[in-house]
Amino acid sequence: MTAPFIAAAEILSKAQPSRPRPTLRVLTCGSVDDGKSTLVGRLLYERQLIFDDQLAALRSDSLRHGTLGEEIDFALLVDGLEAEREQGITIDVAYRYFSTPARSFILADAPGHEQYTRNMATGASNAELAILLVDARKGLLTQTRRHATIASLLGVRHIVLAVNKMDLVDYDEAVFERIVGEFESVAASLAFRSVEAIPISARHGDNVVADSANMPWRRGPSLLTYLENADVETDGGEAPLRLPVQWVNRRSDAFRGFAGAIASGRLQVGDEIVAAASGRKTTIARIVAMGGDLFSAAAPDSVMVTFADEIDASRGDVLCHPTTRPNVADQFAAHLIWMSDDSLMPGRSYLMKINGRSLAASVTDIKHKLDVDTGAKSAAKTLSLNEIGFCNVATAAPVAFDSYDENRTTGAFILIDRFSNATAAAGIIAFPLRRATNIHLQEQSVSKATRARLKHQTPAVLWFTGLSGAGKSTIANLVESKLVERHAHTLMLDGDNVRHGLNKDLGFTEADRVENIRRVGEVAKLMVDAGLIVLCAFISPFRAERRMVRTLVGEQEFIEIFIDAPLDVCKERDPKGLYRRALAGEIKNFTGVDQPYEAPEFPELKLSSAERSAEAIADQIIAYLEANGTLGV
Amino acid sequence: MPLTPHLRRLEAEAVFILREAAAEFRRPVMLYSIGKDSSVMLHLALKAFYPAKPPFPLLHVDTTWKFREMITFRDQTAARVEMELIVHTNEDGRKRGVSPFTCSSSAYTQAMKTEALRQALNEGGFDAAFGGARRDEEKSRAKERIFSHRTASHGWDPKTQRPELWRIFNTRLGAGETMRIFPLSNWTETDVWDYIAAENIPVVPLYLAKERPIVRRNGAFIMVDDERFPLAPDEVVESRRVRFRTLGCYPLTGAIESEADTLEAIIAEMRLASTSERQGRLIDFDESASMERKKREGYF
């Protein structure tokens, strides 16, 4: 077993330069056999960043397991650190740390032999520079293109193309130049600001730390020298100010501090600033710090500011200068990298986390899917694990953001599955679709309340959910009759009927079921606006969709009624003969047979139709509506 | 001494993580283990929420086998920072007499540390706990998330870790689940000492060299910190000038011989240690290599 390394104390050495460069966050990527591990091991060895015990173990490991005879096999050093590989978590990013007198480095190591876009993207999300390894004998591979594409998409703007194993091509300049030429054509369609190609031999150390005598034709720094001097500063200080409010400090009535990490730009006391979403203006009064107030601060500092006026800002607001504001919109176009085993369902409600804010969001349209190997775009109805799509995204409320190209903090978000709480997708914002300033809802002079008052009722959606055959439609019909007897104004939306008209273009796949419910939800909402009591009878097997409609209609007006009947009873009843056909394989995706039914966790009403008559249940529902005020008694 | 850009960035990141957790969790707690990493983490928390106090208590899992100087330092620190300190011991383990001298170290750790921590988290109803662990400490940590999800039974499943992109942390929890949060994930041992020096953060004096009563056992220097230490017939307590690179339960923590009795000297000693490697005195499994390994074992 090889012990893990720790950083040596080199940063303290006497050779410290006058102005140390900021930490460099580097992603190492490339195909599996291109020598990534050997390179990392060689870098650490040459910089004497391997401790005695590690080196001793490495020597004996090299003799036993190595492939290089008497030589030290550096791959074993790095691979030894990845014992997790054997335990089956090989797909994960590992972080390594080392320092030289010139600079500290954080290396995110994306395993090359696994073709997991998800993990590559995770590693790239915080990287400023990527070392892309290529085997000089093989040239560019599919994997090389993929990694270059993902790095570019995630905003890595500086690439080192490390053409490795030059010793195996006799240090031939022509081979190097040919690969560099090939890469230039790949990079042409990508968004890199700098590409430095370096011919190396990780195994022998050529051009890794010192210039190589074997390649006198090469003019330019060694890899380490290049990394130590690479200027990747993303004009963080010059960019427009973005300060997402992270936490509000209310120590006392008198003190209100707004804490957050400056995502870009700088601010100083006296600056006029704006809370982007509300547009409210104020002035920075103090920048509070434990050692004494500051006069100014810049990215990436974490600060706490106070305002001259009492304006209401809260977690998720983005502070900016008045002349350089971010976009504020509730719809935008974004690349999504899908990270969940459950595929993307357009229309389904996910939880979005953006600039500290959490809110409901859904994908309204997939424009295209991106093939990261070829750059080709194709139509798609869904995204599966590790797929990348360009999508329209809608949020429940307007949010402040920038395009990711302009700001890697305020242009990024994640989507979270509401039920598993898994991170479902990483989002990279391209541009706003409608500016919030243009989308103020059409102000209507006759309101929902006015219409409802005319009808002497409180509008509501009665959402009947349950297995096929549970009795939803029967009961809903009885309830509607009873409502009409009482002069209530109603409308019935029934699964079968809707599918004959509004939704006749939809089938029964998971994706189509989601869309079916979304449309019904929108119609129900319109009818509630009209002041009606809307009865909806749909199997609606997924919690996420019922939640979506609840959010759409509004918590106050959504009454979820779970008509509960055991599957056996429903199969027995089988009023439409559907279970029989599904069990015979004639119908696919039938709830309760080959598609799950997710029972409501907290319905307003849960009524067992196995034990009571439809009539009795309908009466119970009417009693509930009287009790909760929907019906005047 | 102003912070280097490197430390400044690490500080800003840690403060961001601490505030993020305070904003997102109902009832966080900070595991305070009294060592250098905890000292740095606590200092960062004081900075993150200033002028308010950090909105969470400190929790120390006391195995009853800590160095006495650690306990003194702990109580002084809690008083100095004016934060609530919860001290928890696994009473069942104490009653059963679980000790590092009578049990295997894994059984002891399980009872007095792991189980004790679970008890304390459950009793306090905490949904998030800060820890001072760093990714460079240990290889399993190199892949752990900054916000590391735990099941309702406090288990960690490395295979279902949530991807962690940018600095957007998925803090959602199911019923009974909790989060462990590591603000120092991206710090190295060197960063920790540099920061302690730059910010003048108090640390337990055990980190500094001093004449201490030492027994040599299994090749490690163990300090005889109290009368509970059972001496073997052939063991002698001798006075040695030693310090500790890491602190834990005294019977399980190896000291290193050292003259470094100031912070500057500690940092200089670290520099020397790497210089000696650079000289290349490391060809075989010699004395220095095995000594380094011992340090390392003490360290972990």
Residue A632 in any domain: the answer is: no
Residue A165 in any domain: the answer is: yes
Helix, coil or strand: residue B240: strand
- Distance from the Cα of B291 to chain A's closest Cα (Å) equals 9
Cα→Cα distances A27→A19, A186, A570, Å:
24, 19, 56
Type of residue numbered A501:
G
Phi, psi of A506 (to 5 degrees): -105, 145
Q: How many helices (H) and strands (E) does chain B have?
A: 9, 10
pLDDT at A255: 84
Pairwise CB contact (< 8 Å): A251 & B51: yes
Domain's final residue, options A268, A291, A320: A320
Rounded (10°) CA dihedral A309, A314, A316, A321: 0
Set of chain A residues whose Cβ sits within 8 Å of the Cβ of B298: none
A199 shares its domain with A315: no
Average pLDDT, chain B: 83
Nearest to A513 by CA among A480, A485, A544: A544
Asked if B223 contacts B255 with a C-beta cutoff of 8 angstroms, the reply is: yes
A341 shares its domain with A314: no
Run of H or E residues at A29: strand A24-30
Mean pLDDT of all residues in A303-314: 88
Pairwise CB contact (< 8 Å): A9 & B51: no
Could you report the per-residue pLDDT of B222-255, keeping only the tens digit for each? 888 888 888 888 888 899 999 988 888 888 888 8
Enumerate residues 6+ apart whose C-beta is below 8 A from A304.
A249, A257, A258, A259, A287, A288, A289, B50
Query: Domains of chain B: which residue ranges?
Result: 5-199, 208-299
Set of chain B residues whose Cβ sits within 8 Å of the Cβ of A423: 162-163, 165, 170
Interface of A with B in 334-393 (CB under 8 A): 339, 351, 353-354, 356
Set of chain A residues whose Cβ sits within 8 Å of the Cβ of B289: 52-53, 55-56
Is A540 annotated in the active site?
A: yes
Pairwise CB contact (< 8 Å): B23 & A315: yes
Nearest to A383 by CA among A424, A420, A353, A355: A424
Answer yes or no: is pLDDT of B16 > 80: yes
Is the Cβ of B220 closer than 8 Å to some Cβ of chain A? no
Phi, psi of A467 (to 5 degrees): -65, 155
Is the Cβ of B80 closer than 8 Å to some Cβ of chain A? no
Set of chain B residues whose Cβ sits within 8 Å of the Cβ of A81: 139, 142
Could you report the per-residue pLDDT of B168-183, keeping only the tens digit for each? 999 999 888 899 999 9
DSSP state of B258: -
Phi, psi of B114 (to 5 degrees): -65, -50
pLDDT at A234: 60
Mean pLDDT of all residues in A617-623: 91
Distance CA B240, CA B257 (A): 7
Residue A442 in any domain: the answer is: no
Type of residue numbered A387:
E
Mean pLDDT of all residues in A141-146: 84
Domain's final residue, options A229, A259, A294: A229
Which of B51, B170, B268 has its CB closest to that of A423? B170
Residue A363 in any domain: the answer is: yes
Which of the following is catalytic: A340, A362, A540, A609?
A: A540
Could you report the per-residue pLDDT of A402-434, keeping only the tens digit for each? 999 999 999 999 999 988 899 999 999 999 886
Nearest to A460 by CA among A250, A621, A285, A234: A621
Q: How many helices (H) and strands (E) does chain A have?
A: 15, 27
Asked if A534 contacts A462 with a C-beta cutoff of 8 angstroms, the reply is: yes
Q: How confident is the model at residue B220 (pLDDT cuts 50, 70, 90)?
A: confident
Spacing of C-alpha A516 from chain mean position? 25
- Distance from the Cα of B8 to chain A's closest Cα (Å) equals 8
Asked if B64 contacts B92 with a C-beta cutoff of 8 angstroms, the reply is: no
A315 shares its domain with A368: no
A272 shares its domain with A316: yes
Pairwise CB contact (< 8 Å): B5 & A99: no
Answer yes or no: is pLDDT of A565 > 80: yes
- Distance from the Cα of A217 to chain B's closest Cα (Å) equals 30
What is the SS3 assignment for A534-598?
Answer: EEEECCCCCHHHHHHHHHHHCHHHEEEEEEECCHHHHHHHCCCCHHHHHHCCCCCCCECCCECCC
Best mutation target, A25, A52, A335, A414, to test chain B (most B CBs within 10 A): A52
A50 shares its domain with A136: yes
pLDDT at A63: 65
End-to-end CA distance of chain A: 78
Q: Where are the alpha helices (DSSP H) in A222-310?
A: 223-229
End-to-end CA distance of chain B: 30
User: Do the bridges between strand B28-31 and strand B128-130 make them parallel or antiparallel, or are there none, so unpaired?
Assistant: parallel
pLDDT at A83: 44
Q: How confident is the model at residue B289 (pLDDT cuts 50, 70, 90)?
A: very low
Residue A29 in any domain: the answer is: yes
Q: How confident is the model at residue A20 (pLDDT cuts 50, 70, 90)?
A: low
Could you report the per-residue pLDDT of A376-411, keeping only the tens digit for each? 889 999 999 888 999 999 998 889 999 999 999 999
A149 shares its domain with A199: yes
Type of residue numbered A59:
R
Question: Using CA of residue A234, residue A238, residue A242, residue A246, what is the dihedral sign?
Answer: positive
pLDDT at B300: 23
Pairwise CB contact (< 8 Å): A20 & B277: no
Q: What crossing angle do the helices spanning B5-24 and B36-49 adopt, rounded to 10°? A: 70
- Residues B202, B206, B209: CA angle, nearest 5 degrees: 110
Could you report the per-residue pLDDT of A170-224, keeping only the tens digit for each? 999 999 999 999 999 889 888 898 999 999 998 888 998 888 888 988 888 999 9
Is the Cβ of B239 closer than 8 Å to some Cβ of chain A? no
Which of B136, B165, B185 has its CB closest to that of A121? B165
pLDDT at A90: 46
DSSP state of B7: H
A507 shares its domain with A409: no
A72 shares its domain with A147: yes
Range of the domain at A47: 9-229
The better pLDDT of the pair B278, B225 is held by: B225
Question: The tokens 């230039």 sit on which residue?
Answer: A184
Set of chain B residues whose Cβ sits within 8 Å of the Cβ of A5: 136
Set of chain B residues whose Cβ sits within 8 Å of the Cβ of A59: 283
The answer to which of A231-240, B31-40, B131-140, B287-296 has the lowest mean pLDDT is B287-296
Answer yes or no: is pLDDT of A67 > 80: no
Asked if B166 contacts A412 with a C-beta cutoff of 8 angstroms, the reply is: yes
Is the Cβ of B13 closer than 8 Å to some Cβ of chain A? yes
One CATH from 1.20.120.80, 3.40.50.620, 3.40.50.300, 3.40.50.720 for B5-199: 3.40.50.620
Interface of B with A in 126-145 (CB under 8 A): 135-140, 142-143
Residue A249 in any domain: the answer is: yes
Q: How confident is the model at residue A14 (pLDDT cuts 50, 70, 90)?
A: very low
Q: How many CB atoms lie within 10 A of CB A605?
A: 18
Distance CA A246, CA A244 (A): 6
Asked if A5 contacts A50 with a C-beta cutoff of 8 angstroms, the reply is: yes
Cα→Cα distances A591→A385, A466, A473, A564, B261, Å:
24, 10, 16, 14, 72
Which of B6, B137, B159 has its CB closest to that of A23? B6
Distance CA A268, CA A303 (A): 11
Average pLDDT, chain A: 83
pLDDT at A26: 93
Domain count, chain A: 4
The answer to which of A152-161, A229-238, B78-87 has the lowest mean pLDDT is A229-238
A219 shares its domain with A252: no
A72 shares its domain with A162: yes
A594 shares its domain with A456: yes
Which of A11, A353, A421 has its CB closest to that of B190? A11
Residue A619 in any domain: the answer is: yes
pLDDT at A76: 59
Pairwise CB contact (< 8 Å): A22 & B5: yes
Supply the DSSP string of B72-87, one letter for each residue: HHHHHHHHHHT--EEE
Set of chain B residues whose Cβ sits within 8 Å of the Cβ of A412: 165-166, 168
Run of H or E residues at B294: helix B287-299
Residue A534 in any domain: the answer is: yes
Domain's final residue, options A380, A407, A434: A434
Beta bridge partners of A423: A416
A77 shares its domain with A141: yes
